[in-house]
Amino acid sequence: MPKDSKISYMKQDGIKRTSIERLKSRFETAYYSEDMVITPLVMFRELDDLTALIQGISIGVTVSGTARIKINGKLHELRPNTLFIFNENTVIEQVKASIRSSGYMITYSQQYLNSIHVDTQDLISIYHGFLDEPCVQITPEEATYIHDISKFMRSVLCDYAPSANRQKIISSLFAAMFHYVMGILQQHNLPTNGTVSNRTDELFNTFLSLLREHCSTERSVEFYASKMNITPKYLSLILKKKSGRNASKLIDEAVVYEAKRLLKYSGMSIRDIAIKLNFASQSFFGKYFKQRVGVSPSRYKIWDGRTEDIIANDSAFPDPMMENEA
Q: Do residue 204 and residue 238 come from a single domain?
A: yes
Q: Provide the pLDDT confidence category of residue 274 given band limits of 50, 70 and 90.
A: very high
Asked whether residue 175 falls in the same domain as residue 204, the answer is no
Residue 269 has pLDDT above 60, yes or no: yes
pLDDT at 312: 40
| pLDDT score for 315 | 36
Q: Are residues 34 and 183 in the same domain?
A: yes
Reference 3, options 320, 314, 316, 307; nearest CA is 307
Q: Are residues 171 and 42 in the same domain?
A: yes
Which comes out higher in pLDDT, residue 155 or 319? 155
Boundary (domain end) residue, out of 161, 187, 213: 187
User: What is the pLDDT of the chain when averaged over all its residues?
Assistant: 75
* Within-domain flag for 14: yes
Do 139 and 276 sit in the same domain of this protein? no
Residue 77 lies in a domain: yes
The reply to whether 33 and 172 lie within a common domain is: yes
Higher-scoring residue by pLDDT: 203, 315: 203
In this structure, the dihedral spanned by the alpha carbons of residues 113, 116, 119 and 124, taken in order and rounded to 10 degrees, is -10
Measured distance CA(281)–CA(310) in Å, rounded: 25
| 81 in a structural domain | yes
Q: Single out the residue in 187, 218, 238 at which a domain terminates.
A: 187
Whether 295 is in a domain gets the answer yes
Q: Examine the domain organization and report whether 171 and 38 are in the same domain.
A: yes
Is 281 within the bounds of a domain?
yes
When mean pLDDT is compared across 24-33, 110-119, 158-167, the lowest value belongs to 24-33
Asked whether the predicted pLDDT for residue 195 surpasses 50, the reply is no
pLDDT category at 49 given cuts 50, 70, 90 is low
The better pLDDT of the pair 29, 198 is held by 198
Q: In what order do the strands lie in the sheet with 57-64?
A: 31-33, 36-40, 102-108, 57-64, 82-86, 135-137
Question: Are 108 and 179 in a shared domain?
Answer: yes
pLDDT at 27 over 90: no
Residues of the chain with pLDDT > 90: what percent? Answer: 25
Same domain, 168 and 26: yes
**What is the rounded CA–CA span in Å between residue 132 and residue 205?**
16
Flag whether 71 is in a domain: yes
Look at residues 205, 191, 216 and name the one whose alpha carbon lies nearest to residue 238.
Answer: 205
Contact 243, 230 (CB under 8 A): no
pLDDT higher than 80, residue 135? yes
Provide the pLDDT confidence category of residue 161 given band limits of 50, 70 and 90: confident
Concatenated DSSP letters of 253-279:
HHHHHHHHHHHHHT---HHHHHHHTT-
- Cα 118 to chain centroid distance, Å, stands at 11
Range(s) of the domain holding residue 278 = 266-326
68 with 149, same domain? Answer: yes
> The CATH number of the domain where 103 resides is what?
2.60.120.280
Residues contacting residue 50 through CB under 8 Å, at least 6 positions apart: 44, 92, 93, 94, 95
Q: Are 175 and 28 members of one domain?
A: yes
Nearest to 298, CA basis, from 277, 284, 318 = 318
* Within a domain: 261: no
Predicted confidence (pLDDT) per residue in 164-183, tens digit:
888 889 889 998 998 888 88
Question: What does the pLDDT average to over 294-313?
Answer: 64
73 or 180, which is more confident?
180
Least confident of 143-157, 159-173, 289-303: 159-173
What whole-number distance in Å separates Cα of residue 36 and Cα of residue 43? Answer: 17
318 and 217 assigned to the same domain: no
What's the number of domains the chain is made of?
Answer: 3
User: Among the three residues 187, 211, 232, which one is the final residue of a domain in this structure?
Assistant: 187
